[in-house]
Amino acid sequence: MNHRRPAALGVALCIAVVSSLVTGCQSDPVSGLAIPRSPLPPPPSSARTATPATPAPTSTLKRPGDCASLVTGLDVRAQVAQLVVVGVSGDNPGATVSMVRDNQVGGIFIGGNATALLKDRSLDAVQAAAKLPVAVSVDEEGGRVQRIDDLDGEIPSARVMAATKSPAQVRALAADRGRQLRARGVTVDFAPDTDVTDAPDDDVIGDRSFSPDPNRVKTYAAAFAAGLRDGGVQPVLKHFPGHGHGSGDSHKGTVVTPPLAQLRTLDLVPYRNLADYGPVSVMVGHLDVPDLTGGVPASISPAAYQLLRTEFKFTGPVVTDDLGAMKAITAQYSLPDAVLKALQAGADEALWSSGGRVDEVLNRLVQAVQSGELPKTRVQESVTRVLRGKGACG
């Protein structure tokens, strides 16, 4: 998907998710130090220029290890509601509160340049309206893809970061940004971009990529991801299986990548040894891999999710790219059918930045579970990942 700022190019933005949190420690890919794998910390008190947001009431959180009873204690509609990430307007906090209260969705995505929802503790009311914590996501990559630059200042694009800063400096920059986001109530950032390309800056990926060298991409993406976690925000790697050498822009239509064998030598290299990144989520793009997805976008292809889960051994939450505002999907499928196909294929969270139609989507998903189109075990597996990612259990 193209994340150009809507004020400049009028492009609808996308995406959301929550990242997997597990206990224990692992070696940090940037510093080599052991880092804890633990639930999100509370908003740091040192965030600059932002009004700290109050975390979701602890009474809504289940104790660690209680995932099975929490998931099975939810009815079907409540379960499938946890698997959607709905776009909301940044200038209408009241409408967002009402939508969350009425539908109990698992996540929201704040796109565009409006910032009312990110000020004056507005997201406190959103969390208070939810029975379970809500994942609050944005696109904050730097460069032309920023959401809080009008509030907290700009940060450079990925390409500029890699050209002018060390990995340690990028981690520090991302940590600072993470603290600013978390203090405003954001819990998930759809960043860093792990695509590999040397395309011009203004290409669909372009300067959103750290480098045409896949190993350098991984080094800097790992630094940025670690920094976000340092600041209390969960990172999301995108766009699996690799948008950097695709044929075009999935906002405008079908995007075809090189064959899988070629992807393995370049675009998929940053996804090797995913544990090196620490706890992250992965976003699957609307990318047709000719010898893998069979002519459909990866975001609704079982083969793409199987590749991520088996060859790349990823066990964390997986979110789709935007299902509601990109012609690679909307030209072929209605929103309810696209969401259903994504969950059937293996996604844990289905995102649509366009917002609205929540009842319509949830009704279709409930019907699919009741008819067996969407197996209950498939739903409960994803709900468990999502709730663990939010620190609600496990």
Separation of alpha carbons 281 and 386, rounded Å: 10
Q: What is the DSSP string of 131-180?
A: SSPPEEEE---BTTB-SSHHHH-----HHHHHHHS-HHHHHHHHHHHHHH
Tell me if residue 357 falls in helix, strand or coil.
Answer: coil
Tell me if residue 106 falls in helix, strand or coil.
Answer: coil
Task: Output the CA angle 92-97-100, nearest 5 degrees.
Answer: 125
Q: Spot the catalytic one: 207, 267, 321, 348.
A: 321
181-to-46, 228, 289 alpha-carbon distances in Å: 12, 9, 35
Q: Spot the catalytic one: 3, 243, 251, 286.
A: 251
Task: Let me know if 203 is a catalytic residue.
Answer: no
Separation of alpha carbons 314 and 280, rounded Å: 10
Separation of alpha carbons 277 and 28, rounded Å: 8
Separation of alpha carbons 292 and 56, rounded Å: 41
Task: Let me know if 207 is a catalytic residue.
Answer: no
In sequence order, the β-bridge partners of residue 351 are 85
As annotated, the active-site residues are: 251, 321
